């Protein structure tokens, strides 16, 4: 498989066919039960703050930033595994939309995956700018950049590698139109990236 191209794939790849409605309900119910068991402290009454997401051969946990909603239903049509947007907004009308997707790993060099995205964007947008973006994960390697056409769009992109022996990497992005992310939006994106855990 060639280097993943997160941004292009998120925009161009058609959504996979919908599973049968019964299968979807069963999968959703199982995800909720597992999330409750895995992520909720016993006896504290604390609200769930982590989602358990699974796909073909993988599963992962990710935290919902305070004031944001995570959705696997909305993610499917956006060629993602989960999307996040502020509570009170919809994925289609979100001012800032965070997308997370699990990609096949070609090797340990996630910087090359990020560079492949940058090369693709430079071809499509010759005047695009790439800016440094400080994003970290407590245990996994992470690389990130801001892709921007100032005044038009701002795409915050990160790749996270769970390490050798794992077959997957995470791709995360946050899209903003016309203006840069606010401190709160950028904090939410960084919190999502830092909370990713391959199970």
Residue 65 in any domain: the answer is yes
Residue 1 in any domain: the answer is no
Would you say 170 and 149 are in contact if contact means Cβ atoms under 8 Å apart?
A: no
Which one has a higher pLDDT value, 43 or 141? 141
Residue 145 in any domain: the answer is yes
Range of the structural domain that residue 144 is part of? 6-198
The enclosing domain of 56 has a CATH number of: 3.40.1000.10
The whole-angstrom separation of Cα 184 and Cα 176 is 13
Give tens-digit pLDDT for 175-186: 999 999 999 999
Give tens-digit pLDDT for 6-25: 554 444 433 344 445 444 44
Q: Which of 101, 123, 139, 82 is nearest to 13 (CA)?
A: 101
Residue 56 in any domain: the answer is yes
The whole-angstrom separation of Cα 158 and Cα 156 is 7
The reported pLDDT for the residue numbered 6 is 55
Residue 152 in any domain: the answer is yes
Model pTM score: 0.77
Residue 155 in any domain: the answer is yes
Give tens-digit pLDDT for 86-128: 999 999 999 999 999 999 999 999 999 999 999 999 999 999 9
Contacts of 89 (CB under 8 A, 6+ apart): 95
The domain total for the chain is 1
What integer best gives the mean pLDDT of the chain? 83
Residue 139 in any domain: the answer is yes
HSE-CB of 37 using CA atoms within 13 angstroms: 6
pLDDT at residue 40 greater than cutoff 90: no
Residue 54 in any domain: the answer is yes
């Amino acid at each position: 498989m060639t280097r993943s191209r997160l941004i292009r794939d998120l925009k161009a790849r058609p959504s996979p066919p919908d599973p049968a409605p019964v299968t979807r309900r069963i999968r959703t119910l199982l995800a909720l039960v597992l999330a409750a068991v895995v992520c909720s402290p016993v006896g504290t009454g604390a609200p769930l703050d982590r989602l358990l997401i699974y796909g073909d051969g993988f599963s992962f946990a990710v935290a919902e930033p305070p004031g944001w909603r995570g959705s696997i239903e909305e993610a499917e049509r956006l060629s993602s595994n989960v999307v996040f947007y502020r509570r009170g907004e919809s994925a289609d009308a979100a001012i800032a939309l965070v997308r997370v997707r699990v990609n096949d790993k070609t090797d340990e060099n996630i910087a090359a995956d990020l560079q492949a995205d940058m090369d693709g964007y430079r071809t499509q947008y010759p005047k695009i700018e790439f800016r440094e973006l400080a994003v970290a994960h407590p245990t996994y390697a992470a690389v990130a950049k801001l892709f921007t056409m100032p005044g038009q769009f701002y795409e915050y992109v990160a790749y996270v590698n769970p390490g050798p022996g794992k077959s997957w990497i995470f791709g995360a992005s946050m899209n903003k139109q016309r203006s840069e992310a606010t401190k709160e939006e950028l904090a939410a994106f960084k919190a999502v990236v830092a909370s990713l855990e391959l199970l």
